[in-house]
Amino acid sequence: MHQRTFLLSLPAILCGALILIAAGANAQHTSRAQSFYIGVHFFSDSLPDGYEEILEAVPAGEDVRVRIIRISLANRYCGAQLIRAVEGVVPKTTISKLTGTVDLCTFTQTAITSALKAAKPKGITPIQDSATLSIVAKCGAKERLLELPYPEEVDFKALETYNPRVQALWNLYYNVRVRSFGEHFSFHDLSAEQERESEDLGTKCLPDLVSGKFESGFIGYSCASTSCDGNYLAWRLRGYTGMPATSDPWTVELLNASSLHLMKSELPKYPPLAKQTRVSGEVRLKIFPDAQTGLVRDVQLVSGTGVLADPAIEFAKKWQFSAGSPSDQPVEAVLKFDLNCPGE
């Protein structure tokens, strides 16, 4: 039984060995990487919440400077771009020590493609939130581009058997990030002061981003049917001058507030469901105030979408008018729910 198991696994072992030999044969002999950067191309199907992130590692004297630059929407509902960046130093180390056993200059895209082909998953995994990686290493006078697909397109158990060197490429980004900024670093958890600092540094990174320095990591990217001469980042960041307004663009306004003689008129918050479905519009209400107290006795919907009308009605019931209004005459209130994107 054990002999049969060994014989069945022998083709897989031979396949892995052949790929390792091919990787060595295809790799051009060169020195270790002098510097490198990793482009993270994240997308989400739930909302237009994708982003581009660049982790760059360069020597700085006896240390290595690591910088992470993220390009995202200032607000995921609007089109304005936002650049944020953080910078750290890994002391007393080199690029070679930072990458460890991952010798970027010994890889070729051909060898990586062969290894991934041998490790394709049997089934189809739906991809909703994921990222591809583009690793660009400075090898001598040339750059070497290594592209990794969505993790859902890889059977990592099979890849570990066939070619653990290629599997290690996926861990490089995480390992360098943790070593430079800690295990729990996230752009989502920055304090107000850290947010301002990251936006200031992001703006300082703009010249590098639009210069074509990171162009190799974005080869083949489309510029929305517009010619951008291959410089995708320069096209995406055209007109960027600094951090745009990042406040909530969803607004609720009582259009005829001045004519209603209200003493108390708290407005509803924009409903989350309406944000997700991008619903906006006006809600008209017929309100019956009590003549003696000014409190609202009844609210009736005149027009408006239900997802906006329901919170409008609930909040209108809490309003208070100036006392002395005729109780038998209702008043009409108009609330406008709208998306106001800065610069659009």
Checking if the pLDDT of 194 tops 90, the result is yes
Residues 269-276, mean pLDDT to the nearest whole number: 90
pTM of the model: 0.74
Strand spans (E) along the chain: 35-44, 51-60, 63-73, 81-90, 129-139, 142-148, 250-254, 262-264, 281-289, 296-303, 320-321, 331-339
Residue 57: the pLDDT is 98
- Over the stretch 321-337, which tens digit does the pLDDT of each residue have? 987 665 568 999 999 99
Rounded Cα distance between 254 and 335, Å, is: 4
**CATH architecture entry for 250-339:** 2-Layer Sandwich (3.30)
With 0-12 / 13-18 / 19 or more C-beta atoms within 10 angstroms meaning exposed / middle / buried, residue 31 is exposed
Q: Where are the domains of the chain?
A: 2-236, 250-339
Contact 162, 115 (CB under 8 A): yes
| pLDDT tens figures, 119-156 | 999 877 777 789 999 999 999 999 999 999 999 999 99
